[in-house]
């Protein structure tokens, strides 16, 4: 048995791989610098970072328990003791908003995770294989898009039962069509490139080509849609909670807080004003950051 010497790596191929890696690194660094230089996207990033810090340090930031009730102190206006006032049950609104940031992040990540996993899979398969597979998948997507998102979410929660977990599932299902359509369009463009044709010519399997060559080059639009989708998911879940189909008492969720305080809107407007401002700022932050991220990752907008 003769021993064959190990093949000597081609220096040209090594240099090409290193060039690709350095080029990808420069792309992300350049995108980050464009985000920082953009005032709107930078403001959105600061709001998101503030939300994350608040959620992580909620026990240290909150001045009271978010569920502790003091009926005798109900509907107190903002003061040194209760910075944002109290609700109908005497619970501290500031503390409930602080702990509600944890729930908002949970809603955004889980709902968008469901949308992204299913939507990317469907869009990737539809765009890569085409033909009848594409027709079947995209017609199902069109059916989902035919329903207003909030009405479809309400119908799903009505079937699954009102709870925070089911609300996240419903919001995640509602967001599937957006990911599927975006990924499909990106895959249609990527699968015609030379490196995909080269992978096919050497006998690579379709699954390997799709997961290792096509989808990795569709990451930019997926990230942008995920960022924008988090804000939408938080808003939709708050709407479901406002209708009593999402988070149930005494969970400190911002939409549920709006629902609890609507009866006292005239006498104690702070009960609904501050949770509403929290929802507005968080959704605005993700939208601003998502828009800036889309501009930063779009090569056609580079100088």
Tens of pLDDT, residue by residue over 211-244, are: 888 888 888 889 989 999 999 999 999 999 999 9
* CA-based nearest residue to 282, from 106, 93, 85: 106
Helices 93-129 and 131-145: angle between axes, nearest 10 degrees: 150
**Alpha helices (runs of H) in 146-267, residue ranges in sequence order:** 149-160, 164-174, 176-190, 194-201, 206-209, 219-242, 254-261
Read off the pLDDT band of 39 (50, 70, 90): confident
Distance from the first to the final alpha carbon of the chain = 60
pTM of the entire structure?
A: 0.84
pLDDT of residue 238: 93
Confidence check: pLDDT of 15 > 50: no
CA dihedral of residues 257, 258, 260, 262 (deg, nearest 10): 160
* Dist. CA 216–CA 214, nearest whole Å: 6
Confidence check: pLDDT of 4 > 90: no
Tell me the residue ranges of DSSP E strands in 38-162. Answer: none
Residue 78: how many CB atoms within 10 A of its CB? 14
**How does DSSP classify residue 212?**
I
For 128, the token pair is 């890569």
What are φ and ψ of residue 147, in 5° steps?
Answer: -95, 140
The number of angstroms, rounded, from the C-alpha of 251 to the middle of its chain's C-alpha atoms is 22
Percent of the chain with pLDDT over 90: 57
Q: Using CB atoms within 10 Å of the CB of residue 130, give its burial: 0 to 12 exposed, 13 to 18 middle, 19+ buried.
A: middle
Confidence check: pLDDT of 14 > 70: no
Residue 55: how many CB atoms within 10 A of its CB? 18
**How does DSSP classify residue 86?**
B
* Dist. CA 110–CA 173, nearest whole Å: 11
Element (H, E) at 300: none
pLDDT of residue 100: 95
pLDDT of residue 12: 44
* CA-based nearest residue to 41, from 298, 301, 288: 288
Element (H, E) at 247: none
If you average pLDDT over residues 53-66, what whole number do you get?
94
| Segment 186-207, tens digit of pLDDT | 888 888 777 777 877 887 787 8
Residue 170: how many CB atoms within 10 A of its CB? 28
* Dist. CA 207–CA 184, nearest whole Å: 16
SS3 71: helix
* Dist. CA 37–CA 279, nearest whole Å: 26
If you average pLDDT over residues 163-171, what whole number do you get?
94
pLDDT of residue 280: 95
* Dist. CA 217–CA 127, nearest whole Å: 14
For 224, the token pair is 């942008």
Query: Over the chain, what is the mean pLDDT?
Result: 85
pLDDT of residue 113: 95
Residue 118: how many CB atoms within 10 A of its CB? 16
pLDDT of residue 298: 65
| Segment 246-300, tens digit of pLDDT | 988 889 999 999 998 888 888 899 999 999 999 999 999 999 998 888 877 765 5
């Amino acid at each position: 048995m003769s021993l064959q010497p190990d093949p000597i790596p081609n220096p040209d191929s090594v240099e090409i791989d290193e060039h690709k890696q350095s080029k990808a690194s420069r792309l992300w660094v350049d995108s980050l610098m464009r985000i920082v230089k953009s005032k709107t996207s930078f403001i959105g990033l600061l709001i998101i970072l503030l939300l994350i810090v608040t959620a992580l340090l909620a026990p240290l930031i909150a001045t009271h328990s978010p569920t502790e009730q003091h009926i005798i102190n109900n509907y107190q206006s903002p003061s040194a003791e209760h910075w944002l006032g109290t609700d109908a049950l005497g619970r501290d609104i500031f503390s409930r908003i602080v702990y509600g940031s944890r729930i908002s992040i949970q809603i955004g990540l889980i709902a968008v995770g469901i949308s992204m996993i299913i939507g990317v899979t469907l869009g990737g398969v539809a765009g890569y294989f085409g033909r009848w597979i594409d027709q079947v998948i995209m017609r199902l997507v069109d059916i989902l898009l035919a329903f207003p998102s909030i009405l479809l979410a309400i119908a799903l929660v009505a079937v699954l039962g009102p709870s925070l977990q089911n609300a996240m599932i419903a919001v995640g299902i509602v967001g599937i069509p957006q990911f599927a359509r975006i990924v499909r369009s990106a895959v249609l463009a990527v699968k015609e490139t030379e490196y995909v044709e080269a992978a096919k010519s050497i006998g690579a399997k379709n699954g390997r080509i799709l997961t290792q060559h096509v989808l990795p080059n569709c990451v930019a639009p997926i990230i942008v849609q995920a960022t924008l989708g988090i804000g939408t998911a938080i808003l939709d879940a708050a709407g479901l909670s406002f209708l009593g189909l999402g988070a149930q008492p005494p969970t400190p969720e911002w939409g549920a807080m709006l629902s609890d305080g609507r009866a006292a809107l005239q006498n104690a407007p702070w009960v609904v004003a501050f949770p509403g401002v929290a929802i507005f700022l968080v959704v605005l932050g993700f939208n601003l950051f998502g828009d800036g991220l889309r501009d930063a990752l779009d090569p056609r907008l580079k100088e």
